[in-house]
């Protein structure tokens, strides 16, 4: 037991020490109101000079602090959740490498070295997705790796084209030379953040262990693309297609994910689709030229979504590894602690006033109302926000308040699990107000009282309607919604089907023609021929005469 618990516990203690260092750096930055950018020559051979720049400012330190806090909470939760796993040390090492790659991405604005963190995220996330080593996880891992490699290739192209600039620091680039570079970076960020049409890999990656989903697929890996655009926004904003791509692709992604979550029955996939919807809202904020609000929502979303994933993992354990919400029920009585945490995270996700999600999401919606966007896109965005309340209420009804439909047992939790719950619960409740004070968002939008309350009224109305008319969700659903607007057919199924057909064809060729044409096939053919010859030689003359006599008799009888 000790050998199983110790790796994650030691890693959580190490993350706690790193958190103390980051808090000291944060106090220094806030007290002196400074931003530090250090650059030193890493490679200097003649005319070849490769500098390495490290940026330590309010944004990078804040994001790194949130990542380390969530990592520490997830590792504490893993001490009880994954205590029966044999490869817990391998899991812990992968988690540490993932956090290291994420911090390289956060602190280094140099494209060349940022690529190390970018590729490190892709590699470690693939190894974490295939951790269970079964057919489902391997298929999901291949889809995740192949989709993310598209973004990796685009970023490598951007690094190659950046040679024209004479440096790889995007903070000092000029628009005259980096239009193509900007396009590659934006597309790479869209791929990593699972925007349309690269959305199918995120729900598929839920084959990973729940602690991996809580860290990788809610607050770090999928937000890396958004953070990249936020960090390089002053340079990328000069590209005229940035606002168009971020706004419209973000709106379509948000709507698609919300509609798919309405008909999904897998608990973890519903939360993944919810993450996809919130990533769309972050892209919308970038589309209306509000990178600070996008970063604000990125931080608050990470806090309550990690709590939501951890609650989902505990529920799945208590339901004997069942993830179908139609077979769950009565968790409000059998697991009151999980129910309280799940309700808190859901309310923060919906944007209940004074919760973490309210401050960021409401600010984005209010700022959006101040822009001159078309009415159609405004309706799509409001519909997506309303659907968030609808599928959240559906999950709560089916899992917490409906009658028990499956064998349920209350699982004893360790003190580390309660500690992780407490840390993320405080973030889900007070994180929004705290970040609002820290980030000092200036010039809040001034709207009429009706528009101020419009979002809240719609959320309450849709949630109430979903509670009253719950039977509508048991009807036959449209394939258009269940397939994520056919995204699964465009990005997931063709890859898997083509690979499967190719492997079957290769197996057939190897088992037939290649087997016969190879040395082994020739040996088998010669062996059969030699055995036939030996049998003929072994027949004596009398036996041959007997065979011929019987043959002649048979011919005479036929005639």
- The mean-pLDDT minimum among 2-16, 21-35, 46-60, 122-136 falls in 2-16
Q: Are 267 and 310 in contact (CB under 8 A)?
A: no
- The mean-pLDDT minimum among 186-195, 211-220, 281-290 falls in 211-220
Asked whether residue 486 carries a pLDDT value surpassing 70, the answer given is no
Higher pLDDT, 227 or 82: 227
Q: What is the pLDDT of residue 166?
A: 64
Asked whether residue 391 carries a pLDDT value surpassing 60, the answer given is yes
Alpha carbon of residue 484 to chain centroid: 15
- The mean-pLDDT minimum among 9-18, 171-180, 458-467 falls in 171-180
Length in residues, the chain? 559
Q: What is the pLDDT of residue 537?
A: 55
Measured CA to CA, the distance from residue 205 to residue 143 in angstroms comes to: 8
Q: Are 339 and 331 in contact (CB under 8 A)?
A: yes
Using one digit for the tens of pLDDT, what is the confidence trace for 522-538? 666 667 666 665 555 55
pLDDT band at 496 (very low <50, low <70, confident <90, very high): low
Mean pLDDT is highest, among 152-156, 197-201, 412-416, for: 152-156
pLDDT band at 161 (very low <50, low <70, confident <90, very high): confident
Asked whether residue 266 carries a pLDDT value surpassing 70, the answer given is yes
Q: What is the pLDDT of residue 474?
A: 44
What is the mean pLDDT of the segment spanning 178-184? 78
What is the mean pLDDT of the segment spanning 179-193? 83
Q: What is the pLDDT of residue 473?
A: 46
Q: What is the pLDDT of residue 516?
A: 57
Q: What is the pLDDT of residue 195?
A: 84
pTM for the full predicted model: 0.79
Asked whether residue 335 carries a pLDDT value surpassing 60, the answer given is yes
Question: What is the number of alpha carbons within 13 Å of residue 175 lying toward its C-beta?
Answer: 10
Measured CA to CA, the distance from residue 258 to residue 249 in angstroms comes to: 14
Residue with the two structure tokens 């021929």: 529
Calculate ∠ Cα 56-59-61, nearest 5°. Answer: 50
Element housing 196 (H / E):
none
pLDDT band at 320 (very low <50, low <70, confident <90, very high): confident
Using one digit for the tens of pLDDT, what is the confidence trace for 392-443? 888 888 888 777 766 655 565 677 778 888 888 888 888 877 877 776 555 5
Asked whether residue 188 carries a pLDDT value surpassing 50, the answer given is yes
Q: What is the pLDDT of residue 444?
A: 57
DSSP state of 322: -
Percent of the chain with pLDDT over 90: 0
Return the closest-CA partner of residue 53 out of 223, 167, 165, 152: 167
- The mean-pLDDT minimum among 125-139, 148-162, 267-281, 436-450 falls in 436-450
Higher pLDDT, 190 or 334: 190
Alpha carbon of residue 513 to chain centroid: 43
Asked whether residue 543 carries a pLDDT value surpassing 70, the answer given is no
Q: Two tokens at 236?
A: 């990328």
Alpha carbon of residue 512 to chain centroid: 42
Q: Any residues with CB less than 8 A from the CB of 114 and at least 6 apart, and which?
A: 104, 105, 108, 228
Return the closest-CA partner of residue 127 out of 163, 172, 96, 152: 96
- The mean-pLDDT minimum among 27-31, 294-298, 514-518 falls in 514-518
Q: Are 315 and 338 in contact (CB under 8 A)?
A: yes
Neighbours of 107 (CB within 10 A): 19
Measured CA to CA, the distance from residue 338 to residue 223 in angstroms comes to: 26
Question: What is the number of alpha carbons within 13 Å of residue 181 lying toward its C-beta?
Answer: 25
Using one digit for the tens of pLDDT, what is the confidence trace for 17-56? 888 888 888 777 777 777 777 777 777 666 666 777 788 8
Asked whether residue 178 carries a pLDDT value surpassing 80, the answer given is no
- The mean-pLDDT minimum among 99-108, 187-196, 202-211, 447-456 falls in 447-456
What is the mean pLDDT of the segment spanning 452-478? 63
Asked whether residue 194 carries a pLDDT value surpassing 50, the answer given is yes
Element housing 165 (H / E):
none
What is the mean pLDDT of the segment spanning 236-250? 81
Measured CA to CA, the distance from residue 323 to residue 265 in angstroms comes to: 8
Q: What is the pLDDT of residue 131?
A: 84
Q: Across the chain, what does the average pLDDT equal? A: 76
From the number of C-beta atoms within 10 Å of its C-beta (0-12, 13-18, 19+), residue 165 rates as middle
As separate numbers, helices (DSSP H) first and strands (DSSP E) second, the chain gives 25, 2
pLDDT band at 483 (very low <50, low <70, confident <90, very high): low
What is the mean pLDDT of the segment spanning 306-317? 85
Q: Two tokens at 322?
A: 């069942």
Measured CA to CA, the distance from residue 470 to residue 467 in angstroms comes to: 6
Residue with the two structure tokens 């705290």: 434
> Mind giving me the DSSP string for 202-228?
HHHGGGS-HHHHHHIIIIIHHHHHHHH
Asked whether residue 301 carries a pLDDT value surpassing 60, the answer given is yes
Q: Are 492 and 144 in contact (CB under 8 A)?
A: no
pLDDT band at 2 (very low <50, low <70, confident <90, very high): very low
Provide the Cα torsion 524, 529, 533, 538; round to 10°. Answer: 40
pLDDT band at 168 (very low <50, low <70, confident <90, very high): low
Asked whether residue 498 carries a pLDDT value surpassing 80, the answer given is no
Question: What is the number of alpha carbons within 13 Å of residue 109 lying toward its C-beta?
Answer: 24
Measured CA to CA, the distance from residue 266 to residue 465 in angstroms comes to: 22
CA distances from 58 to 22, 107, 233, 348 (A): 11, 11, 16, 25
Asked whether residue 317 carries a pLDDT value surpassing 50, the answer given is yes
């Amino acid at each position: 037991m000790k050998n199983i618990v110790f790796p994650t516990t030691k890693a959580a203690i190490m993350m706690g020490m790193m958190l103390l260092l980051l808090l000291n750096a944060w106090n220094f930055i806030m007290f002196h109101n400074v931003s530090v950018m250090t650059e030193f020559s890493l490679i200097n051979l003649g005319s070849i000079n490769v500098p390495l720049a490290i940026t330590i400012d309010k944004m990078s330190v804040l994001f790194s602090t949130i990542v380390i806090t969530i990592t520490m909470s997830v590792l504490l939760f893993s001490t009880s959740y994954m205590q029966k796993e044999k490869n817990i040390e391998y899991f812990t090492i992968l988690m540490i490498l993932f956090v290291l790659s994420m911090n390289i991405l956060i602190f280094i604005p140099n494209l060349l070295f940022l690529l190390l963190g970018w590729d490190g995220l892709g590699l470690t996330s693939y190894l974490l997705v295939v951790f269970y080593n079964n057919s489902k996880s391997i298929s999901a891992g291949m889809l995740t790796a192949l989709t993310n490699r598209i973004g990796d290739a685009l970023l490598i192209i951007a690094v190659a084209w950046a040679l024209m600039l004479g440096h790889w620091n995007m903070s000092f680039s000029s628009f005259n030379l980096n239009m193509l570079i900007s396009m590659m970076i934006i597309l790479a960020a869209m791929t990593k953040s699972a925007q349309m049409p690269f959305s199918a890999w995120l729900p598929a990656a839920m084959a990973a262990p729940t602690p991996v989903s809580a860290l990788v697929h809610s607050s770090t890996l999928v937000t890396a693309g958004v953070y990249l655009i936020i960090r390089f926004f002053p340079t990328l904003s000069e590209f005229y297609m940035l606002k168009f791509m971020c706004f419209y692709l973000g709106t379509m992604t948000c709507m698609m994910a919300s509609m798919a979550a309405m008909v999904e029955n897998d608990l973890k996939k519903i939360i993944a689709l919810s993450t996809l919807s919130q990533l769309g809202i972050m892209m919308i904020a970038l589309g209306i030229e509000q990178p600070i609000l996008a970063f604000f929502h990125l931080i608050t979303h990470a806090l309550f979504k990690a709590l939501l994933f951890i609650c989902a993992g505990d529920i799945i354990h208590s339901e004997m590894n069942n993830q179908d919400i139609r077979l769950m029920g009565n968790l409000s009585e059998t697991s009151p602690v999980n129910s309280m945490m799940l309700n808190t995270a859901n309310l923060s996700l919906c944007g209940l006033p004074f919760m973490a999600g309210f401050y960021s999401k409401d600010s984005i919606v209010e700022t959006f109302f101040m822009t001159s966007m078309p009415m159609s896109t405004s309706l799509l965005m409001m519909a997506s926000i309303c659907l968030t309340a609808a599928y959240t209420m559906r999950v709560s009804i089916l899992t917490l308040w409906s009658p028990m439909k499956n064998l349920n047992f209350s699982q004893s939790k360790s003190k580390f699990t309660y500690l992780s719950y407490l840390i993320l619960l405080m973030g889900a409740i007070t994180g929004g107000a705290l970040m609002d004070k820290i980030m000092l968002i200036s010039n809040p939008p001034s709207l009429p009282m009706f528009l101020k309350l419009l979002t809240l009224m719609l959320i309450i109305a849709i949630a109430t309607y979903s509670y009253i008319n719950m039977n509508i969700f048991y009807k036959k659903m449209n394939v258009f919604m269940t397939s994520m607007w056919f995204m699964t057919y465009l990005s997931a199924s063709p890859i898997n089907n083509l690979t499967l057909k190719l492997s079957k064809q290769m197996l057939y060729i190897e088992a037939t023609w290649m087997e016969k044409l190879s040395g082994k096939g020739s040996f088998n053919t010669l062996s059969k021929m030699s055995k036939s010859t030996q049998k003929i030689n072994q027949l004596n003359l009398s036996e041959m005469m007997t065979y011929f006599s019987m043959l002649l008799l048979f011919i005479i009888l036929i005639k």
